[in-house]
Structure formats: C-alpha cells, structure tokens
Structure 1
C-alpha cells in the first residue's frame, strides 16, 4: 500500500509538471499566449479537487519517500537510484519558494500570479531565483522520468513504446525551456520601457517589502523543517538498525561455501548486496521482477509465510515451492540459498517462465545423437575457414531437421548433434518425432552433399543413434552457458548407439524400446543383440543402412 500511494502521488505530480511544461512552451509564441494557456492550467489544478490531489500527492510523496529512507537496510544503490534519492532531497528545498511566491502569495496577499508577474520576478527582479527555477525544472523532470521508467519497464509493451517516450522526454523540456527563454527576452525588453514598467507595477499588485520578507522567512522555516525531517529519517534508520542488531542475527550460506551473518529484519537480497555478493535484481529490490529469486535449501520451513505481492510474482513464473524472491524474504533463522540467475541478468530475464522442467524433473523422452563420420581426416585437408563453413552448413541442415520434426536441439558437440524429443508431448510422440527427425536428417544430408559437391572430396556421412528412457531434464550450466538439457543413463546409451553405428555399418541404430513405443514395423531391418559399454546386460537394436528407409 505504501508503494502504491507513493506511486500514485508521483504520477499526479508528474502530470502536473507535464501540463506546466506545456504551458511554458507557449512562450515561443508570446507571453499573452502563455497566460491564455494558464487559464486552462488553473481550471485543472486550482479547483478543490485539483488542489486536494496536487498537494495531497506532494505531501504523501515526500513523507513516504522519507519513510523509504528510514526503511532502507543499506545505501548500496545504482547510479540512477542514488540520483533519485539526491534529487528528491534537493527538489523540496528549491520548490518551496516557487510555491510561496505563486499559490501562497495569491491566496494570502491577493497577488495575481500571471506569467507577466512570474517572468518579471524571476528574470528582472531576482535573476538568481530564475536560475534556481531552471535547476528545479531539470531536477524535477529528470526525477519524474527516471521514476516512470523504473515503474513502466516491467510492463508488457513498454520496450516497443520506449523510443517514443524517450523522444517526448527530450523534446518537451527543450521546447518548454525555449519558451521560457523567449518570454524572458520579451519581459526584459518590456521592463526596459519606463512607461510599461510603471503601468505594470501599478496593476500587478506586487507584494510589499514586509510581505516579501514574510515569504522568505517562511521559506527558510520550511526548508529547515524538511532538512530536520530528512536528518530524522536517517537517524531513525540508524537506531532501527541498532535495535535489530540487538534482537539477534541469522546466517545465510551460499553454494560457493560463503556463510554471511546478518541482523534480523534484513532481507536476503540486502544480505548479498551489503557483503559484496553479486546478486541479480533488476527492479532494485522492489518486488516488481523475479530476477533476485533463490532456491532455499535447509531452513525453508523456518521462513515467514509468503506475502501476497511475492506470491503473485512467484505464481506468474511458475516457481517451485522452495523458490523465494530474495528481496521479499526476511529470515529469522539460519538457512541455505542458491541464487538462480547470474548477477548480470537484465530485462530479458524479467518474468521469464520458470517451469518445473527448468528446475529439474524426471521425464521419459527420446534422445538422438548424430555425428559426421571421418570428419577429422577431412578437416586436416581443409583450411580453417572451409572447415567452419562446411560445419555451419551441416549444423544448419541438421538443426532444421530436428526442429521441423518437433524436437529440441540440445547442443552441438564438436561435429556431433544432440537432440531431445518428447519433453512437452510425451514419450510416444517423442519416439515418433525422433525417427522422423532421423529420416529428415538423412534427406537434408543428401541435399547438403549435392550443394557442397565441389567442396568435398567425398560426400559427408553421418551415424545416428536413438534411444529412450527416464532422464533428468533441467536447466544446467552457469552464466550465459545455461540451457535446458538432459542427463542420465538413457542419454549415455543413445550416444553409445551412435558410436556403434560405424561398427554395424549403418547410418541409423534404433534401440528396441524406441521401436516398440513408436509402433512402426521394423521387421525388414537387421536386428542385433549388442553389449553397450556402461550398461549391465545386452540390448536389442535395429540397424538401417539409410535412415531414409524408415517406414512412414
């Protein structure tokens, strides 16, 4: 609720600033045009509802920002987060005089705070106030734009809209500042005319010297009060930290053997960041993304229950029961965690679906291995560029055959290919698709040999082995080298069958379980009982001279 109120308040303030800058841009035409636009601006913001929304948003946004400072466990921040904090501390100090000189002076002293009055005060009477206003303009606009970006970047469609938003972010302040500059030149020219200046001073009802003194004294009072509140927030934060330390600590253990101790009331993300442990967190620990997610080992049952906001994110990504968001998890006892994303994870990882397969699951699937026969001796007679060219064409042909047959291309191993079938559709469809892929690979190999006839002293030949069985399927690897793959005895057996295809003088070797599950008629092909290295007992296989001979 605190985040939402702070967000809505920020949105109201940003819209106010947006309309204010549009009004300034009319200065490119004339000061009179600025005043005409001001009438619309005042109709929007100086009615009871607009006043309540504006000043309610201003006060709530400032107070909840101070509350955010108090609640922070650490001050380790990215550049833009620090810029948000610093600009948020400076803006109220610069803003107070502008508010007192316009709305306050209008309501209390009856000043007609039109653009002639404003420009005269900022450009002619107190140029230093004009400089402060320009600084305030840049700080407020930058603060609002960064806040909007941090909020919207998790929304679908924002990446497509972002270039247009960036254009608006740049264009609007430029034309607004240009309008202010042109109107400043105009008011300077008018003020140089004694007759105009005399008439203006008579009709403008400018505040008296005593009233001006009151305004500046009130400004100082409000500035001191805000600085006091800011110091109070930091002091209270320090006292809260001391109290939490007195309450006790807990220990967090990481996969690399590190064990860090932290005070109760610290979330897991802060534990990492305060101790220099790299930990992904795109949203900065606000619970708006899932990049800080961790798998909890020992100590899971001692964690506090999941709050609604965290639960919503975890359900969105299909998280397992032992997965938590580090930024939303506040341990009270020792536990072990494993961060699930590399620390440099960016926007492409937000909201990524984390299926049970990715986390690790036993499945019965079909596995296909294929390898080029005699490629080592062939590559010795080729230039490196030629070898790379031929291999890339081969990989393209084999990968296309696998994907067209409904398989998942797992990896290329040297000049070999590993593919998985049936992860999503079941083992029966997997076995049929694996056989279909083998046939397509043989056909595409013939096409490739025809295209590369002038490059090859002899056609490329491949051996293919297909087996099925239970394996562990999950996301394995580290850093950027992470992918869904399979491990288990069935994978090793499929690799052995591919190697034995050479001994059997065949292009394709199929294990009996694959043939039975696929349901095809293989009686026309030789059947052998073989011993597979690494397995106890033998197994029956069918060998085919050409995979293109497979029945439909």
Structure 2
C-alpha cells in the first residue's frame, strides 16, 4: 500500500539521489580507469624511454579517439557537477568521516593540480599541433621547469588516492571485500610506486640526454612548439581554468548558505527522537543530516550513501507521511529484512512531527553491522528452546577459598559448559553469577533447537563429570549442576545500551525455563525439561517420570520430565 506523501519533492529527491549515485559511480570508474592506465604507462619507464613511448601508443589509441575523449571529458564534467551539487546540498559538514573528508579535499585539489598539465598537452596538441610525447613532457618537467617533476607526481598520487578511497567506499560492503582487501591494498600501493619509479627513471635519462646540445636541439625542434603568443594563450587558459574552478566551488558554498537560510526561514519542522529530545529541522533534510547538524551521535559507516544500513532508524509518528523507499534504499532494507517501520536515516527526508529512534549505537562501524545481520536483531518473536543452568552449593564452596581459586574454578566450569552448549549448536546468552542462560533454535527451527538443547544438557553433564575428576584434588566435594529447558515463543533481539549490547530473549518461555532449573533442587534431579521440548525433538525419555507441575505466573500446569542424570539422555 502506497504511503501518503505530504511533500512530493521528498520522493523526487530520493529518486534523484539514486540516479546521481549511479552517475557518480559510472563517471568515477571511467576517470579511475584513465588514471590507472596512465600510471601503468608511467611504470614502463623503469625499463627505458623506448618502452615508455611504445606503451603510450595504446594509451593514446584508447583515450584520444572520439569515443574515448568523449567518455573521459564527459565523465570529468559529470563528476565535477556532482561534486559541486553535493557541496550545495550538504546540510552539515559536521561529523564527516575521515573517508568523506579525504574524498572532499583530494577531489577539490585534483583540478587545481592537473589543469596545467591537461591544457599544456591535450589542448596544445589539438590547437597548435604540439608533439606532446613523453620527450616533450619529461623535458619540461625535468629540464625546463624542474619544480614540475615534484608537482606532477603529487597530482597523480592525489588523483590515485581519491580514486582508491572512492572504490573503497563503493566496495567495502560487498561480501567478498574482506577476502580481496589485502590484494587490493597491495595493488593500491604497488601501482603508484611503480609509476613513480618509471617517472623518475625516465626523467633521469632525459636529463642525461639533455646534456648533449645537439640532441636537445633536435628534441626541441621535434616538439613543434607554438609561437610565444600562442604559448601566452595557453598560460591564460590555464589561469582562467583554475580561477573558474575556484569560483565554481565558491559559488556552490555560497549557494548552500543561501539555500539553508531560505529553507530554515520558510520550512521549519520538528524532529523528535525516541530519547525524548526534539530539534528544529528543515523539511527536505535527511534525518542523518539533522542528527549531525545538531551534534546528535548517529552511526553511518558509509557516510550517508545508503549502502551500509548502520544509520537505520525505527519510525514512530508520521510514518504514513513518508514516501516509499527509493530502489536503492529498498534494496538495503530487504537485505536486512527490515520491517515496514524501519528506514535509513540518510535517505529519509524530514516531515514535520517525524519521530525516529536510531537502532544501532553511534559507534557502530563493523562490516557485520553494516550488512545488517540476521533479521531477528531488530526484534522478532521466535519459537526457541531456552536453557538455564546453575551450580549447586557453590556459594559455600567459594567461602572457603581464596578469590583466585574461585575465579579459576568458575572459568574452568564456564569453559566446559560453554563448549558443550556451542558444540551442540546453541548460543550462550549470558553468564549470571555462576549461572548460564543459552538459546537454541534462533537460527533454525523449534525441532532442531529442541534436539540441540537436549544434546547440550547431556554434554554439559558429561563435561561436568570430567571436570570434577580433574579437580578432585582441589574440591572437597564435586560440583553439582541443575539444568532446566523449555520451548516456546520468546521475543529475540539485540538489546542493551551503548557498548553493552547483545542478542538476548525475553518472555514467558525464558521465565519458565529459569523456574524449571530452580525446581531441580526440589526434585534432587540434574535436569528438568518440559514435555513440549521432548515432543518437538522426537526424543524417547520414557524412563524419566512425567510430572504435572505448577509454574508461578501460569494458569495451567506444565508437563515436564525429571531426569536424575542428564548424561543418560539418549543421543
């Protein structure tokens, strides 16, 4: 069912953002391909000037034909326009990540560093017939204007770094990225290093050759240099291009200031956070931008590009006023199996009275968080088996021992029980004093969870017996344990505050399992399991007596099996 949209421009903005993202990626890949091929060509200078000239031919063939030239300058224009648009649309520069800052600064410096090289080669070649081969370039940089031998490598490295950061931001959430990252990093370092080596080797060769006046005279003659007037024209174009770019950036910044001033006067809105805080915002700003502008910590691993899902929010009031998610946002939401009231803060535009609650802590930065993880992390009701276990009489044992001994024994106990639970396929929820809570079937189904819980109880009993044997000389009496297991619906999700968060379960099923564990004391048994677990697992526990017991808080009695020794459970 389509949502009612109070502000149609919001939907258009989201759709436009998706299109712009695709154009930015496409133009960036074209420009990166150009820089990559340029650096690889430079690297051949390590061998000789002849190799440098030989491999320049396919480079020129690709990039100086009408199609290649159109793609290159078209991509450059698109990329610059998108960058200026991003500056104009940015609502706040606060809380930018290091990658965003690097992208912005590197990107703005590239035209200023490379415009003279582009005009002095490509334009001079097309307008005046200058032979802009590597002899021409290297003589200018290493003999006629040596400072260029430093500036040009810096410019290419800056362009390379800008491209690598862009690729990193684009690819880092791909499932295969972690495996490929070492190889990509090696390539990111090796390629510019080899290019610099080739540039220096070729430059030193040119400097040696230029010591011969005859060779230098012939080389200059072969360049077909334009007249002094034409050279002056080239320099004017370079200066005008630099100034024009600076003015464009300044205009984008000034336009941003004007836009924000007008919007804040005419489109005031109230954004409410689940924490109780309310801030004034501008209709059309994203929730993430508002959070950053007001200094409210908000996770966003991808920098607001709608790729990582770490900025996701739960919408309270005014959900019906939001437009449907764009294709890009919907793809991310499907990946994390988000319910209808969960959206991405970087894609959700403000409407007056909107209420939101960030779902991840502000420090969220891991790839697993970015991918969203299982859907139950957002909170779902699942039929799971819950196990509680507790040591019997350990308080009396600990009173007679030094703190070091108590910690040592408990750590040994927790290690054995944890291995038994995880070995059976369970998930340790928490350690509570000398007790343990574990969940089974969270990632599978009730039948599998029930079988895993029974297997865990048997393994825990067996491992406890082995532990008692190994600690026989340290214990006055063996450790004893009580285990309770119940199956039923529970609310499962990632809960907690700040850095103290984890997947846990709450509900009547959890309380019942805890009470079954407590009842093992009354019955002098090691294990009490509800009949629903036994039936779901398809287990044969006929030797164990069946009892109908009253559980505090439940109206009906619960059928359970009382097992004196859990190690005797069937496999």
Question: Which TM-score tier does this pair reach, normalised by the shorter chain?
Answer: over 0.9
Within 5 A, what are the aligned runs for 1:506-517?
Answer: 506-511=525-530, 513-514=532-533
Is 1:348 the counterpart of 2:368 in the alignment? yes
Q: 1:315 aligned to 2:334?
A: yes
Deviation at residue 243 of structure 1 after TM alignment? 2.9
Which SS does the other structure have where 2:524 is aligned? coil
In the alignment, structure 1 residue 4 sits paired with structure 2 residue 11: no
Which of 44, 58, 61 is the equivalent residue of 2:76? 58
SS of residue matched to 1:328: coil
Offset, 1:147: 1.2
User: In the alignment, is the contact (CA less than 8 A) between 2:308 and 2:371 conserved in 1?
Assistant: yes
3-state SS, counterpart of residue 486 of structure 1: strand
Q: 1:370 to 1:98 in 2, by over 3 A?
A: same
C-alpha separation in 2, matches of 1:128 and 1:407: 66
Residue 72 of structure 1 corresponds to 90
User: Is there any run of 5+ residues in structure 1 with no aligned partner, and where?
Assistant: none
2:346 alignment partner, SS class = helix
Change (3 A) 1:340 1:354: farther
User: Secondary structure at the residue paired with 2:352?
Assistant: coil
> In 2, are the aligned partners of 1:304 and 1:331 still within 8 Å (CA)?
no
Contact in 2 for aligned 1:101/1:215 (Cα 8 Å):
yes
RCO comparison, higher one (Cα < 8 Å, 6+): 2
User: What is the number of residues matched between the two proteins?
Assistant: 551
Alignment of 1:153-192 (within 5 A): 153-192=172-211
| Cα distance in 1, alignment partners of residues 475 and 454 from structure 2 | 28
Deviation of 1:276 after TM superposition, in Å, equals: 0.8
- Are the equivalent residues in 2 in contact too, given 1:363–1:423 (CA < 8 A)? yes
Q: For residues 289-319 of structure 1, give each alpha carbon's deviation from its aligned partner in whole angstroms, at most 9, with x where no partner exists.
A: 1110011112211222211111111011100
Structure 2 residue corresponding to 1:108, chosen from 112, 127, 131: 127
* Pair 1:18 & 2:64 matched: no
Q: What secondary structure sits across from 1:327 in the alignment?
A: coil
The answer to whether the 8 Å contact 1:31/1:183 transfers is: yes
Structure 2 residue 294 is the aligned partner of structure 1 residue 265: no
Q: 2:14 aligns to what?
A: none
> Cα deviations across residues 414-437 of structure 1 (Å, max 9, x unaligned)?
211112334455545544543343
Query: In 1, Cα distance between the equivalents of 2:468 and 2:404?
Result: 18
**Distance in 2 between the 1:63 and 1:113 partners?**
29
1:298 lines up with 2:317 in the alignment = yes
Shift in alpha-carbon separation, 1:518–1:219, aligned structure 2, 3 A:
closer
Q: SS in structure 1 opposite 2:147?
A: helix
Aligned match of 1:451:
470
Distance in 1 (alpha carbons) for counterparts of 2:450 and 2:97: 50
Structure 1 counterpart SS, 2:492:
strand
Give distance in 1, aligned partners of 2:45 and 2:539: 81
1:200 aligns with 2:216: no
TM-score, L = length of structure 2: 0.90
Deviations 1:368-410 (A, max 9, x none): 2111112222233444444333323322332333334443332
The separation in 2 between residues aligned to 1:199 and 1:542, in whole angstroms, is 101
Instruction: State the partner residue of 2:417.
Output: 398
**Structure 2 vs 1, CA of residues 538 and 190 (structure 1 numbering), >3 Å: closer, same or farther?**
closer
Secondary structure at 2:167 match in 1: helix
Q: CA deviation at 1:466?
A: 2.6
Query: Partner of 1:34 in structure 2?
Result: 52
Once residues 423 and 123 of structure 1 are traced to their aligned partners in structure 2, the CA distance between those partners, rounded to angstroms, is 67
Deviation at 1:278, TM superposition (A): 0.8
Does 2:119 correspond to 1:83? Answer: no
Stretch deviating more after TM superposition (391-400 or 331-340): 391-400
Q: Which moved more, 1:245-254 or 1:9-18?
A: 245-254
SS of alignment partner, residue 294 of structure 1:
strand
How far apart are the structure 2 equivalents of 1:40 and 1:408? 58
Aligned match for 1:498, one of 517, 523, 527: 517
User: In structure 2, do the counterparts of structure 1 residues 123 and 407 end up closer, same or farther at CA, with 3 Å as the change threshold?
Assistant: closer
- Give the direction of change, closer, same or farther, for the CA distance of 1:29–1:517 in structure 2 (3 Å limit): closer
Q: Does 1:419 align with 2:438?
A: yes
Q: What CA distance in whole angstroms lies between the structure 2 residues aligned with 1:520 and 1:395?
A: 27
What aligned pairs does 1:108-147 form with structure 2 within 5 A after superposition? 108-147=127-166
The aligned runs of 1:232-251 (5 Å cut-off) are 232-251=251-270
Describe the SS at the equivalent of 1:127: coil
Q: Contact conserved, 2:416 with 2:463, CA < 8 A, in 1? A: yes
1:98-127 deviation line (CA, Å, top 9, x unaligned): 111111111111111111111111222122
Give the distance between the partners of 1:443 and 1:496, measured in 2 at CA: 23
